[in-house]
Structure 1
Amino acid sequence: MSRDADPAGPMDLKQRVVTAFQRHVANPVLRRVPFQTVLETTGRTSGLPRRTPIGGRRVGDTFWLVSEYGERSHYIRNIKADPSVRVRIRGRWHEGTAHLLPDDDPMARLRTLPRMNSTAVRVLGSRLLTVRVDLRG
């Protein structure tokens, strides 16, 4: 199966275009911005750290985010293989455990998260999926 293949069918054109832009243009720049929130997962096949700029909000010892493409997202696939993650929030790394919440209402969740990122997720995304990260330390 190709890297971008989806078990349920081929990836749609919008997702391919958005993902290519994010992977090759936006993410390499945003990962280097000191106060950009970043999710670090462990690559499910490589075992290497994989860093993805994300939007979301910390509430106490919990970090909430909504994935644009749900289980099609590589970082979601990595979480399914190993839920131990790190989240860089305001320049500081926090270890945590990620939980995929398919029964949560991602549209309602987006209304509680930062507006700019939430708007982009609503406009660009499909198959939205809520993720909760329980932070340690």
Structure 2
Amino acid sequence: MPRPAHSETKYRFATAFQRRLNPVMRRLPLQTLLETTGRTSGLPRRTPLGGRRVGDSFWLVSEFGERSQYVRNIQADPRVRVRLRGRWHTGTAHLLPDDDPIARLRALRSPNSVAVRVIGAGLLTVRVDLED
């Protein structure tokens, strides 16, 4: 099924913007980062993002669902690390296509959640079960 033109425009705009912003965001010591293993390169890939820790899980919503590179990396290898408040945690990521991503964003309540709702198309909930 073809994607609506506005979804494609949002995707292109967001990825171009993030390509410039993400290298800066990765350097901020308290920025939340998701580290996946590149599905082709096998190298660590760090993505700045928003989300929230709830108990032993970290929740986030991918703004472009399975089109997001980090989601594709999770599909290939769900073992990830999450940097929260400057500390790294290992975990296993789970894609939750049956979860309501809009309700999840409301529950996460962060400025990032607003941006994901406005910019995103094809939202997908991700839960990382933290091991430490």
- TM-score grouping bracket, smaller chain normalisation: over 0.9
1:1-137 paired onto structure 2 within 5 Å: 12-23=8-19, 25-137=20-132
* TM-score, with structure 1 as normaliser: 0.91
- Please report how far the alpha carbon of residue 8 of structure 1 lies from its aligned counterpart in structure 2 after TM superposition: 6.0
- The ranges of structure 1 where at least 4 consecutive aligned residues each deviate by more than 2 angstroms after the TM superposition are 7-11
Aligned residues: 130
Residue 111 of structure 1: SS of its match in structure 2?
A: helix
Greater share of helix = 2
Letter of the structure 1 residue corresponding to residue 29 of structure 2: P
What's the % identity of the aligned pairs?
72
Work out the CA distance in 1 between the residues paired with 2:109 and 2:63: 15
What is the alpha-carbon root mean square deviation over aligned residues?
1.5
- 1:27 CA drift (Å): 0.4
Question: What's the CA shift string for 1:112-131, capped at 9, x where partnerless?
Answer: 11331110000000000000
Letter in 2 for 1:129: L
Q: Tell which deviates more after alignment, 14-23 or 117-126.
A: 14-23
Normalising by structure 2, we get a TM-score of 0.94
Q: CA deviation at 1:88?
A: 0.2
CA distance in 1, matches of 2:106, 2:25: 23
Provide the rounded CA distance (Å) in 2 between the counterparts of 1:115 and 1:83.
25
